[in-house]
Amino acid sequence: MDAVTTHDCCASSRATTPDLVVIGAGSAGFSAAIRASELGANVALIGHGTIGGTCVNIGCVPSKTLIRAAEALHHAKSSSRFAGIAGAARINDWSALMAQKDQLVADLRGAKYQALLPEYETIRYVQGRARFTDAGIEAGGAIFPADRVVIATGASAAVPAIPGMDEVPYLTSTTALALDRLPKSLLIIGGGVIGCELGQMFARFGVAVTIVCRSRLLPGFEPEISDALAGYLRDEGVTIECGVTYRQIRQTEAGVALDLLAGETAQTIEAEQVLIATGRRANTSGMGLGTAGIALDRNGAITTDEHLATNRPGIYAAGDVTGRDQYVYMAAYGAKLATENALNGDILRYDSRAMPEVVFTDPQVASVGLTETEARRQGQDIRTVRLDLVQVPRALAARDTRGLIKLVAEAGSLRLLGAHILAPESADSIQTAVLAIKHDLTVTDLADTLFPYLTTVEGLKLASLGFQKDVAKLSCCAG
């Protein structure tokens, strides 16, 4: 049966049998479809639910605009760090702030997803849930060939296996960003990226926040950064309990109560609401992947090789559904790569060696490359340098010396292997280190490069100089 579309304006003028089927209409799916169209392929793009996927609808865009709003509140209150200045700010209308956030989401979804479909004549959008069958891929009342496919169905919030969780009303990152009112207190289970970002955000909105986690905050990042960030969050009134064991969660008259063990000590934490921030699980259920013989890992994510190919020839997967590198830009990158390999053979390899990671706390956390632990685990002979922001003139001028920079380099060549920054502008500063790692530069190359004075990124130069000398003994701009 020929493919059909629910949007006649987007119907292809070419043959009705697609050269490539893309399942998922989020960032990865659109990236795959657009790249295929650029390569001259006829594409069936199958989407289920709200077009645009996680990032624009329920993830990056709504969270980052609300985080900025919370920063505006905090920065007004913290202006007293400058002599002779006092400031204050408050929330006058929570519903207005949420409406503004929703409008931004709608505008970007319209401009970057819905409005793009008519621009690509060879992309046909089909609304429906896709399922692999013996006859092919069923969706939207049609059967599509399963010869060349890119699966990009994303992921959803994972719920931890805590006794009683099924009986407790809980928030996820999705519903927490759509609250019609702020709770008085909030318990966050999980100390990863989402837990840290939303925890600080709600605390700055005036909510009493407690974060609990099994290990430490941001366990995949350098421990020095995790420890420092935990201290800064505590300074803002966030309660943090790390290294705990969950025993039971239950509903109470006032909200929820979590029983846990902190070491050998039993504790109960109560709050009006609880937010689950314990990671994400790939959206693979109900797709008939077993029928298709597509292998999944133990967490339910699609297993792929270095070309993003599954174990079934012709079928590829990209983005969060693979369980790796769950960032929107990596989803888009992977989707383009998977598409080119699906159409032209396995000519490209997935490479995340120079992948930047950013946590939008304040100060921000940014990282690229290997941590010290990862490098040593690989058997690398390394050197590291830590530079506290008190040595960075920008931080002194801003009267905000929270943070640090840590560099990891090969001991002999001094080739940069990893860069890790905790600083107010680290999300922008990290890109210099990304390029350095991508092009195999050394810390000597960075130290010999001109950096503008009174910038946070200058800290990368100072940290690089730290491999050769004591930067505390240098004058301003001296190398």
Which CATH number is 235's domain given? 3.50.50.60
Q: Judge whether 148 and 11 are in contact, CB under 8 Å.
A: no
Q: Judge whether 244 and 215 are in contact, CB under 8 Å.
A: no
351 lies in some domain:
no
End residue of a domain, out of 222, 255, 278: 278
Report pLDDT digits (tens) over 142-199. Answer: 999 999 999 999 999 999 999 999 999 999 999 999 999 999 999 999 999 999 999 9
Domain identity same for 321 and 422? no
3 lies in some domain:
no
Between CA 129 and CA 466 the distance in angstroms is 55
Per-state percent for the chain, helix, strand, coil, to nearest 5: 35, 25, 40
**Long-range contacts of 426-431, Cβ-Cβ distance < 8 Å, separation of 24 or more:** 426/358, 426/363, 426/364, 426/365, 426/366, 426/456, 427/358, 427/360, 427/364, 427/366, 428/456, 428/457, 429/366, 429/455, 429/456, 429/457, 429/459, 429/460, 430/356, 430/358, 430/366, 430/367, 430/368, 431/356
pLDDT attached to residue 478: 61
Relative orientation angle of helices 27-38 and 328-344, to the nearest 10 degrees: 40
Asked if residue 369 belongs to a known ligand binding site, the reply is: no
Name residues of the chain where pLDDT drops below 50.
Answer: 1-15
Asked if residue 136 belongs to a known ligand binding site, the reply is: no
23 lies in some domain:
yes
pLDDT attached to residue 479: 66
Between CA 248 and CA 228 the distance in angstroms is 30
Domain identity same for 274 and 285? no
Domain identity same for 360 and 429? yes
Q: Of how many residues is the chain composed? A: 479
Between CA 70 and CA 201 the distance in angstroms is 6
Domain identity same for 39 and 134? yes
Domain identity same for 133 and 270? no
pTM over 0.95: no
Query: Closest Cα partner for 213 from 265, 279, 155?
Result: 279
Token readout for 158 is 């994972």
3 state DSSP class of 95: helix
CATH number at 441 reads 3.30.390.30
Relative orientation angle of helices 60-77 and 94-112, to the nearest 10 degrees: 140
pLDDT attached to residue 178: 96
Q: Judge whether 408 and 370 are in contact, CB under 8 Å.
A: yes
Asked if residue 194 belongs to a known ligand binding site, the reply is: yes
244 — phi, psi (to 5°)?
Answer: -100, 165
Domain identity same for 303 and 258? no
Range of the domain at 199: 165-278
Q: Judge whether 408 and 425 are in contact, CB under 8 Å.
A: no
Between CA 8 and CA 442 the distance in angstroms is 54
Asked if residue 197 belongs to a known ligand binding site, the reply is: yes
Query: Closest Cα partner for 429 from 456, 448, 405, 449?
Result: 456
Domain identity same for 153 and 169? no
Domain identity same for 298 and 385? no
Between CA 43 and CA 18 the distance in angstroms is 5
3 state DSSP class of 18: coil
Asked if residue 192 belongs to a known ligand binding site, the reply is: yes
177 lies in some domain:
yes
Domain identity same for 289 and 273? no
Asked if residue 196 belongs to a known ligand binding site, the reply is: yes
457 lies in some domain:
yes
Q: How many domains does the structure of the chain reveal?
A: 4
Query: Closest Cα partner for 467 from 393, 397, 392, 408?
Result: 408
Asked if residue 193 belongs to a known ligand binding site, the reply is: yes
Asked if residue 274 belongs to a known ligand binding site, the reply is: no
Within 13 A of 121's CA, how many CA atoms are on the CB side? Answer: 4
Domain identity same for 214 and 339? no
Between CA 123 and CA 42 the distance in angstroms is 6
Between CA 182 and CA 76 the distance in angstroms is 20
17 lies in some domain:
yes
Q: Judge whether 442 and 416 are in contact, CB under 8 Å.
A: yes
Domain identity same for 153 and 26? yes
pLDDT attached to residue 7: 41
Report pLDDT digits (tens) over 217-261. Answer: 999 999 999 999 999 999 999 999 999 999 999 999 999 999 999
223 lies in some domain:
yes
Alpha-helical regions (H) of 218-282: 223-235
Token readout for 404 is 């640090």
Q: What is the DSSP string of 289-358?
A: HHHHT--B-TTSPBP--TTSB-SSTTEEE-GGGGTS---HHHHHHHHHHHHHHHHH-S------TT-EEE
Asked if residue 123 belongs to a known ligand binding site, the reply is: no
Domain identity same for 188 and 46? no
Cβ-Cβ contacts under 8 Å for 141 (sequence gap 6 or more): 4, 128
Relative orientation angle of helices 223-235 and 193-204, to the nearest 10 degrees: 20
Asked if residue 190 belongs to a known ligand binding site, the reply is: yes
Query: Closest Cα partner for 459 from 404, 409, 418?
Result: 404
How deeply is 365 buried, as exposed, middle or buried, from its count of CB atoms within 10 A (0-12, 13-18, 19+)?
Answer: buried
Asked if residue 286 belongs to a known ligand binding site, the reply is: no
49 — phi, psi (to 5°)?
Answer: 90, -160
Q: Judge whether 276 and 160 are in contact, CB under 8 Å.
A: yes
90 lies in some domain:
yes
3 state DSSP class of 476: coil
